[in-house]
Amino acid sequence: MAKQNGWFVKKDKTDLIEADGLQQSTLEYPGLNKDKIFEEVDRFYRTYYLRPKPILRIIKTMLEDKDILVRRCREGYEFFRSLRERKADLAASKAAA
């Protein structure tokens, strides 16, 4: 459906991931551009993954197993780094527009 309607922003499959490893939106819909989609994905990540119940569950498993503690700390670092990079990319995209 997206292909038929010409909603793909990027035509080449190699354009799906940026040089920094972040995946950009490949679709734009009439009335909903890729920047807005990008903003909403960021909002989803923050509201879904930063809820108290999942965070408490993660902390509980971290306290029970040292290997999980190490893995979760690395995952948390990568998660927050990606959120920061997404925010910077969104700001750069808005500045360019």
**Tens-place pLDDT, residues 22-45:** 666 778 888 888 778 888 888 898
Mean pLDDT in residue range 56-70: 95
Mean pLDDT in residue range 63-87: 92
Full-model pTM: 0.62
The span from the CA of 85 to the CA of 89, in Å, is: 6
Range of the domain at 62: 2-96
Closest CA to 3 of 13, 23, 18, 93: 13
- Tell me the average pLDDT of the chain: 83
Q: Count of domains in the chain?
A: 1
Helix (H, G, I), strand (E, B) or coil at 30: coil
